[in-house]
Structure 1
Amino acid sequence: MTRAHTDTHRTAPPTHNGALGAYGETLAARHLVERGMVLLDRNWRCRDGEIDLLLRDGDVLVACEVKTRTTFACGTPHEAVDVAKVAKLRLVAEQWVRDQAVSPRDIRVDLVAVLRPLRGASVVEHVAGVG
């Protein structure tokens, strides 16, 4: 897996939630790259769905779901990534592998939870291998 990062264009309208999500994805990508992962793609879509971030961690492809919240009033980011969501992310990652003609040793699904409080610094939590 040696494919370089190709940034795709976001198609979401410039809403508060869209801006918050883009902020969280940027923060998550920076966090993971600083820890040694290689960013391969962002917001990759196919007919089966979308993956926020695709990264390489050694010879493992990481399909990363990013959930950004300002509060936990509507639940934690962890609650939003259930078994069905993990299965869908894995399916989309397998399609990305076919489209890019790469051969990772394995595919892992990760979650990055970003809490952006109204005051203070954002908190980033990376959970490797959810589901």
Structure 2
Amino acid sequence: MARTAAASPFARDPAAERKRLLGQRGEAIAARHLTGLGMEVIDRNWRCDAGEIDLVLRDGRVLVVCEVKTRTSTAYGAPLEAIDQRKLDRLRRLAARWLRVHDCHPDDVRIDMVGVLAPPGMPVEIEHVEGAG
């Protein structure tokens, strides 16, 4: 009997697939923006049982943990409005875990946020908040 691979949950849910692709696009846009500012991407989409870090970068001697939020409109608020204090607290815990797992000892750690507004057929807008948490 032939064995078949389990179908991806996105294959059954086109809306979830669109959201995933939008998130990937936003993270790529954010990474280009941040590297354009002189930062170096050292990790992407790092996951553990406690959550995910979108981007980990080096800004000189500072390690930057970056949360990226992407939206196609502001109908439900600007992208950065989706990052609340609870999310920032989680990012702090995730940053500490990332440092332990990678045995990394930077001079400083910073949490940044990048909001990407990508309306279809319109120019992309990027908002970067340095040192958000």
TM over 0.5: yes
Q: Please name the residue that 1:52 is paired with.
A: 54
State the structure with more CA Rg.
2
Q: Please name the residue that 1:100 is paired with.
A: 102
Work out which of the residue numbers 72, 80, 101 in structure 1 matches 2:74. 72
Q: Please name the residue that 1:124 is paired with.
A: 126
The two structures have a TM-score, normalised by structure 1, of: 0.86
Alignment partner of 1:90 is 2:92: yes
Give distance in 2, aligned partners of 1:105 and 1:80: 29
1:90–1:107 CA contact under 8 A, matched in 2: no
1:12–1:18 CA contact under 8 A, matched in 2: no
Give structure 2 stretches of 5+ with no counterpart.
1-7, 12-16
Q: Deviations over 1:44-95 (max 9, x none)?
A: 0111110000001111111100000111111222221111111100110111
Give distance in 2, aligned partners of 1:80 and 1:28: 16
Aligned pair in 2 of structure 1 residues 126, 12: CA closer, same or farther (>3 Å)?
Answer: farther
Root-mean-square deviation (Å) = 1.6
Higher helix proportion: 2
- Counterpart secondary structure, 2:42: strand
- Counterpart secondary structure, 1:21: helix
Give distance in 2, aligned partners of 1:49 and 1:79: 19
Between the aligned residues of both structures, percent identity stands at 50
Give distance in 1, aligned partners of 2:9 and 2:110: 26
Aligned pair in 2 of structure 1 residues 51, 127: CA closer, same or farther (>3 Å)?
Answer: same
Counterpart amino acid of residue 113 in structure 2: L
**What is the number of residues matched between the two proteins?**
121
Counterpart amino acid of residue 90 in structure 1: R
